[in-house]
Amino acid sequence: MSFIKFQFNRLESYARFLLAGILLFSSINYFFQLLSTPEMAIPGFLFFQSIIKTNYLMELIKGIEFVAAILFLINRYVFQATLIVFPIVFNILLFHLFLDFPGLSMAIVLFVLLIIIMISKKQRYLDLFKE
C-alpha cells in the first residue's frame, strides 16, 4: 500500500510541475507575445477575439494562470491554486471541445493533469462539503 501511495505522490509531483510549466508558459507567452497564436476554427477565433476585445478578461485569466503556476511550482497553497484554476482549465476543455476541436488534445492533457493533482488533495475537497 505504501509503495502505491509513494508512486502516486511522485505522479502528483510530475503532474504539478508539468501543469505549472504549461500554465506559466501560456501566461508569459500571452503577455510578452513570444509565439504567435495558433490557427483556430472560425467559431473559436470569433469567440477568442470577443474575449480579447473586452480589454480585461484575458488579462485576468492569464494573471490567474500565472499565479496558480507559481503556487504549483513552489508547492504552496496547491489546494487553493487548484480551486482557482479549475474553472479556467474546464473552460479551455469546453472551448476546444465545442469551438476549436484541433486543440482538444492539449486541453485534455491540462484537464487530466489538474485532476491528478486534485485527487492527491481529495481529503481537502471532502472537507469543503462537511457541515
Helices (H), the chain: 2-32, 42-52, 57-74, 78-98, 104-120, 122-128
Alpha-carbon torsion, ordered 40, 72, 17, 64, to 10 deg: 10
pLDDT in tens, the chain (131 residues): 576 777 888 999 999 999 999 999 999 999 999 998 888 989 999 999 999 999 899 999 999 999 999 999 999 999 999 999 999 999 999 999 999 999 899 999 999 999 999 999 999 888 888 86
In this prediction, residue 130 carries a pLDDT of 83
Q: Which of 68, 61, 58 is nearest to 22 (CA)?
A: 68
Angle at the Cα of 114 from the Cα atoms of 40 and 7, rounded to 5 degrees: 135
The span from the first CA to the last CA of the chain, in angstroms, equals: 30
pLDDT for 44 = 92
- Contact, 103 vs 37, CB < 8 A? no
